[in-house]
Chain A
Amino acid sequence: MTVGNQSEFIRIENIVKKFGEVTAVNNVSLNISQGEVFCLLGGSGSGKSTLLRMLAGFDDPTEGRVIIDGDDISGKPPERLPVNMMFQSYALFPHMTVEKNIGYGLRRDGISKAETKQRVDEIMEMVKLSPFATRKPSQLSGGQRQRVALARCIVKRPKVLMLDEPLGALDKKLREETQQELLKIQRDLGLTFIVVTHDQEEAMTMADRIGIMDMGQIVQVGPPRELYENPNSMFIADFVGSLNKFKGVIKGQDGDDTIVGLSENITVKVDTGFEHNDGDKVMLTNRPEKLEIFSADSAEQPTTKNVLDGTVKFVSYMGEQTNYAVELGDDVVVRIAEQNHHMSTKASISMGDKVKVAWPARSTHLFSA
């Protein structure tokens, strides 16, 4: 059945899209494999939606081409592509019932009424819409509409399903449920998903791989863990998750560790492959949840390479975690997030307390300033 290479099911080759003077997508190349959930993550204006529209056939690339399962789709109208799109607004046809909405694509493909009915019934069963078959979209809840939009696409068994901010219009509780349902359907039907989102949490939880877009280019592609743990640029580090950022100067080398001065009196050891010369100005980053906080007088004491003294400036209890802001001196403030599972000694830490901050040498990154 498959003509193209499995891991090159979708091949995006040097795609450029210009709108007049503006370059919306700038020389993007990307391979997506069959059965993968690929997320395009980026802020507004990053070019992710433009890229998606080109994949769906709504816009033609200015340069480059897209090959899906061995077929060059460039220049083909959307109705002739083996690709379907779930729109952010769902774009359900307001004058048609749920049943008619879902069957629309099959009827347009010339599939008989009887077969359409059967396949629509199957899909409605699958996404739990059967009781609402004869309702109009205006009589459905947000979650039900989302399911109609999904059913309308997957009933056509597309080679690729594009989802534009699929969970954007749902409230938080419903999002988690829907996300799991989406992924279950994706796995069960062996579909290839391309998800566009600006919500990094959504991308992290859904995607096999994420491509982060900025200014029309893909800045980094990789599994969520890789992007989070090993960002290849300051931009990625800052874009995904929360981050401590410090300006620093390389002070020297101690075995595998690089010594970085954050201020006159504060230095930390960093274990990273970052190439450098002494005296280089760098940006040093780490994640608040990688740091640990200890009461200065507590029995339990940190054992990491870097242990820094500080004063608590701010505590905010968030339920599952507690966030601290600790001043290390010289106006260097670090944010720490602690899971609230061992509350015993740390529950008493409050504003103004003297604390020790445990700062591992790994999981800290250096970028050229």
Chain B
Amino acid sequence: MSAVLHQIQGRMGKLFVLLPPYLWMILFFLLPFGFVLKISFSEAIIASPPFAPLFEFDPDEGILNGIFRIFNYQYIFEDSLYLNAYLGSAKIATVSTIICLIIGYPFALAIARSPKSKQGFLLMALMLPFWTSLLIRVYAWIGILRQDGVLNNILLWVGVIDEPLILLQTTFATYVGVVYAYLPFMVLPLYATLEKQDLTLLEASRDLGASPIRSFFDITLPLSIPGVISGCMLVFIPVIGEFVIPTLLSGESTLMIGRVLWTEFFNNRDWPVASAVAIIMLLVLIIPIIIFQNQQAKQEG
């Protein structure tokens, strides 16, 4: 009797622990996603809200008509603007991720291999910029990159250049801003995996005849792949949809999907197309992640 009671209690306990995250996901992810999905099958009209309802009840016939309009998707595939924006975003996200990885890996390795007593301080220093609003930090970059900005002044003074470089309003500026803003997201998961690594493995590989560099490529790097992947995802996924940084630093010169979304929503007030754009982006991102995770699970199992 008490065993059964105990079991029930155990289940209730488990439910109690699992419920909040599930509720959170349902309320703040699944439900909004449902709304966006629904709107993407609708049609822009001049009303409030500015889209046609999906379901209409015909009282004469006693029929509930559901109209799923797929022309928003058709439209996205037909107009090359969208494809270019997706590709532009993907390119910027890919390149930024690679740059973040190249800068972030030595960064994370240095923190992970420094004395334990200093690691906390170094991580604090890494996180410190987050204490200032992103907007302010991006404005600071405007100050640095503009024609009479800090960087140009220094280069002129040193004599590397004769006339100021045009850095703002170029794609270069977006790379600078994005790499700057997202670097900690690369460093943190890398640090987490590198910090856990068993250093006797490196000694073993040295002992067996590998040079320090060889040991890095044979042992440290392959064992840090999970951290590399999480870091890359943490950078790549938000950068794909990044809006603020390219808008402020590159303006019209860089076409990214975030800007297209903004334009559809707020300038054209075409919510259905904007929703379709968002849904396609989500699918493009989520499918590779699912494939990757299945692969990962298979390897471990």
Residue of A nearest to B201 (CB): A91
Within the assembled complex, what's the spacing in Å between the Cα atoms of A77 and B198?
20
With known contacts A93-B219, A95-B222, A95-B223, A87–B200 Cβ distance under 8 A: yes
Interface size, chain A (Cβ < 8 Å): 23
Which of B203, B205, B223 has a CB less than 8 Å from the CB of A94?
B223
Which of the segments B37-45, B114-122, B209-217 contacts the partner chain? B209-217
- B83 beta carbon closer than 8 Å to chain A: no
Contact status B222-A78, CB under 8 Å: no
Contact status B200-A91, CB under 8 Å: yes
Residue of B nearest to A83 (CB): B207
Question: Which chain A residues in 71-102 approach chain B with CB under 8 Å?
Answer: 77-79, 83-85, 87, 89, 91-95
With known contacts A94-B223, A95-B223, A108-B210, A78–B201 Cβ distance under 8 A: no
Contact status A89-B209, CB under 8 Å: no
- B208 beta carbon closer than 8 Å to chain A: yes
With known contacts A95-B222, A95-B223, A58–B209 Cβ distance under 8 A: no
**A105 cross-chain contacts in B, Cβ below 8 A:** 208-209
Residue from B200, B208, B209, B218 whose CB has the most chain A CB atoms within 10 Å: B208
- B11 beta carbon closer than 8 Å to chain A: no
Which of B200, B208, B214 has a CB less than 8 Å from the CB of A152?
B208
**A83 cross-chain contacts in B, Cβ below 8 A:** 207
Q: Shortest Cβ distance from A65 into chain B, in angstroms?
A: 20
Contact status A79-B203, CB under 8 Å: no
Residue from B200, B205, B207, B219 whose CB has the most chain A CB atoms within 10 Å: B207
Contact status B204-A91, CB under 8 Å: yes
- B113 beta carbon closer than 8 Å to chain A: no
Contact status B200-A109, CB under 8 Å: no
Contact status B207-A78, CB under 8 Å: yes
Which of A58, A77, A104, A153 has a CB less than 8 Å from the CB of B205?
A104
Which of B201, B206, B214 has a CB less than 8 Å from the CB of A93?
B201
**B211 cross-chain contacts in A, Cβ below 8 A:** 77, 79
Contact status A78-B223, CB under 8 Å: no
Residue of A nearest to B210 (CB): A108
Residue of A nearest to B223 (CB): A95
- A56 beta carbon closer than 8 Å to chain B: yes
Within the assembled complex, what's the spacing in Å between the Cα atoms of A108 and B215?
10
- A245 beta carbon closer than 8 Å to chain B: no
Within the assembled complex, what's the spacing in Å between the Cα atoms of A287 and B222?
55
Residue of B nearest to A110 (CB): B209
Contact status B198-A79, CB under 8 Å: no
Within the assembled complex, what's the spacing in Å between the Cα atoms of A94 and B226?
14
Interface string of A12-30 (1 = CB under 8 A from B): 0000000000000000000
Within the assembled complex, what's the spacing in Å between the Cα atoms of A109 and B198?
23
**B200 cross-chain contacts in A, Cβ below 8 A:** 87, 89, 91
Which of B198, B203, B208, B218 has a CB less than 8 Å from the CB of A156?
B208
Contact status A56-B205, CB under 8 Å: no
**A91 cross-chain contacts in B, Cβ below 8 A:** 198, 200-201, 203-204
Question: Which chain B residues in 58-77 approach chain A with CB under 8 Å?
Answer: none
**B208 cross-chain contacts in A, Cβ below 8 A:** 79, 84, 104-105, 108, 152-153, 156
Q: Shortest Cβ distance from B49 into chain A, in angstroms?
A: 53
**A152 cross-chain contacts in B, Cβ below 8 A:** 208
Which of A57, A58, A78, A89 has a CB less than 8 Å from the CB of B198?
A89
Within the assembled complex, what's the spacing in Å between the Cα atoms of A105 and B218?
12
Contact status B210-A79, CB under 8 Å: yes
Contact status B209-A109, CB under 8 Å: yes
Within the assembled complex, what's the spacing in Å between the Cα atoms of A85 and B207?
7
Within the assembled complex, what's the spacing in Å between the Cα atoms of A56 and B205?
12
**A153 cross-chain contacts in B, Cβ below 8 A:** 208
**A94 cross-chain contacts in B, Cβ below 8 A:** 201, 223
Within the assembled complex, what's the spacing in Å between the Cα atoms of A95 and B214?
16
Contact status B207-A84, CB under 8 Å: yes
**B201 cross-chain contacts in A, Cβ below 8 A:** 91, 93-94
Residue of B nearest to A81 (CB): B207
Which of B198, B207, B210, B214 has a CB less than 8 Å from the CB of A56?
B207
Residue of A nearest to B209 (CB): A108
Within the assembled complex, what's the spacing in Å between the Cα atoms of A332 and B223?
61
Within the assembled complex, what's the spacing in Å between the Cα atoms of A58 and B223?
22
**B209 cross-chain contacts in A, Cβ below 8 A:** 79, 105, 108-109, 156
Residue of B nearest to A109 (CB): B209
**B214 cross-chain contacts in A, Cβ below 8 A:** 108
**A58 cross-chain contacts in B, Cβ below 8 A:** 203, 206-207
Within the assembled complex, what's the spacing in Å between the Cα atoms of A85 and B205?
10
**A104 cross-chain contacts in B, Cβ below 8 A:** 205, 208, 210, 218
Q: Shortest Cβ distance from B209 into chain A, in angstroms?
A: 4
Residue from B198, B201, B205, B209 whose CB has the most chain A CB atoms within 10 Å: B209
Interface string of B182-205 (1 = CB under 8 A from A): 000000000000000010110111
Within the assembled complex, what's the spacing in Å between the Cα atoms of A148 and B102?
35
Within the assembled complex, what's the spacing in Å between the Cα atoms of A58 and B203?
8
**B210 cross-chain contacts in A, Cβ below 8 A:** 79, 104, 108
Q: Shortest Cβ distance from A19 into chain B, in angstroms?
A: 14
Contact status B203-A78, CB under 8 Å: yes
Which of A93, A95, A109, A156 has a CB less than 8 Å from the CB of B204?
A93
Chain A to chain B contacts (Cβ below 8 Å), 8 pairs: A56-B207, A58-B206, A77-B206, A79-B207, A83-B207, A87-B200, A91-B201, A93-B218
Q: Using A58-B203, A93-B204, A108-B214 as known contacts, list a sample of 9 further A-B pairs with CB atoms less than 8 Å apart, ordered by residue number in A.
A: A79-B206, A79-B211, A83-B207, A87-B204, A89-B200, A95-B223, A104-B210, A152-B208, A156-B208
A: which residues have CB within 8 A of B?
56-58, 77-79, 83-85, 87, 89, 91-95, 104-105, 108-109, 152-153, 156
